[in-house]
Structure 1
Amino acid sequence: MSTIIKFFVAPDHSAAAVVDVGPDDFFESLTFGNFDAEEAPIEWESIFTGQTFEDLVAADVSKVVADPGDGDGPVVLAVSQALQDALTAADEQRLVEVSRLWVAERSADGEVFDEGIAVWILSGLAGLVRAIGRKPEGLYCWTA
């Protein structure tokens, strides 16, 4: 499970350049902690789109952009366009619904996660993605 998670907006996979230092000095970012940043975006997309987690993993959703330590250290992931689109389109009610379903999913796996924090995370990400607008940028996740 990741302890430091930063979602950020970057123009392209050059986002990989921040893998060793994090995005703070280079890109606008949101910082979270203590959830699995590699699985959560896949789980969120599964809930938003109705696709199974397994199908999304098979489709290589949340592509690894940089992983210099082969899983032992910081990593940069590209968040899928489908999740970005779902976050952009979601109103507050939908964000609450997806958060509730995600918390229930985590609970089924034995994790305790506060629904209010889940809503805060997804609302923050929705705001960050909406700020992209029509710019040729995407959402990335750095975790260490």
Structure 2
Amino acid sequence: MAITVEFFVAPDDASAAVIGPRYRDHGRPAVMFEGFFPDEAVLEWASLFTGEPIDRIAQGEPRMVVPMANDGFEVFEVGPPLRTLLAGAGALRLGEIADRWAVLESRADDEVSSEAAAGILEAVGALAREAVRAGRGLYCWYFAP
């Protein structure tokens, strides 16, 4: 199953809700990936940053903007606490989180290498800095047919 993932910056939920696989030329700062479930990843990242258990973080996170339906598509907001952590993390901290996340993913048989994890977190961290600087939200859509 090919999972397509895009993290992007948007001013609000209404703007974020219209972005997705059919509207990829939206002109907003964005990065695209494949091969992992981002709604699970953001919970894992938050847990790795804070040391809090995932089940505690998962209460209300991530906040769905377009809940998944039978079409395999959803949009969610990366919550302000994680957005701030990503935006403020330096390369060393992001690399550490990426290494630990790659281990979690390999245990779940999802195979995200340390190198791929580092690239993902560096790119999402840069988007988070852009979102914070612009006073906007950090969102993600994904499609898992």
TM-score by length of 2: 0.89
Deviation of the 1:96 alpha carbon: 0.7
Aligned counterpart, 1:10: 10
Structure 2 matches for 1:1-144, cutoff 5 A?
3-14=3-14, 15-19=16-20, 21-57=22-58, 59-67=59-67, 70=69, 72-144=71-143
Which amino acid is 2:38 matched to? A
SS state of the match for residue 104, structure 1?
helix
Corresponding residue pairs, total: 142
Partners of 1:82 and 1:24 in 2: CA distance:
28
Deviation of the 1:23 alpha carbon: 4.6
Deviation of the 1:6 alpha carbon: 0.4
SS state of the match for residue 123, structure 1?
helix
Partners of 1:2 and 1:136 in 2: CA distance:
33
Deviation of the 1:106 alpha carbon: 1.3
1:87-112 CA-partner distances (Å, limit 9, x unpaired): 11111110110001101111222332
Please tell me whether the aligned partners of residues 6 and 23 of structure 1 are also in contact (alpha carbons under 8 angstroms): no
Partners of 1:4 and 1:83 in 2: CA distance:
21
Deviation of the 1:82 alpha carbon: 1.0
Unpaired runs of 5+ residues, structure 2, are none
SS state of the match for residue 38, structure 1?
helix
Please tell me whether the aligned partners of residues 19 and 66 of structure 1 are also in contact (alpha carbons under 8 angstroms): no
1:136/1:87 Cα in 2 relative to 1: closer, same or farther (>3 Å)? same
1:109-136 CA-partner distances (Å, limit 9, x unpaired): 2332210110000000111111234422
Unpaired runs of 5+ residues, structure 1, are none
TM-score by length of 1: 0.89
SS state of the match for residue 42, structure 1?
helix
- CA RMSD, Structure 1 to Structure 2 (Å): 1.8
SS state of the match for residue 70, structure 1?
coil
Please tell me whether the aligned partners of residues 66 and 74 of structure 2 are also in contact (alpha carbons under 8 angstroms): yes
Partners of 2:98 and 2:65 in 1: CA distance:
26
Please tell me whether the aligned partners of residues 87 and 132 of structure 2 are also in contact (alpha carbons under 8 angstroms): no
Range that drifts further, 31-40 or 15-24 = 15-24
Deviation of the 1:39 alpha carbon: 0.4
Please tell me whether the aligned partners of residues 48 and 98 of structure 1 are also in contact (alpha carbons under 8 angstroms): yes
Please tell me whether the aligned partners of residues 12 and 137 of structure 1 are also in contact (alpha carbons under 8 angstroms): yes
Deviation of the 1:2 alpha carbon: 6.0
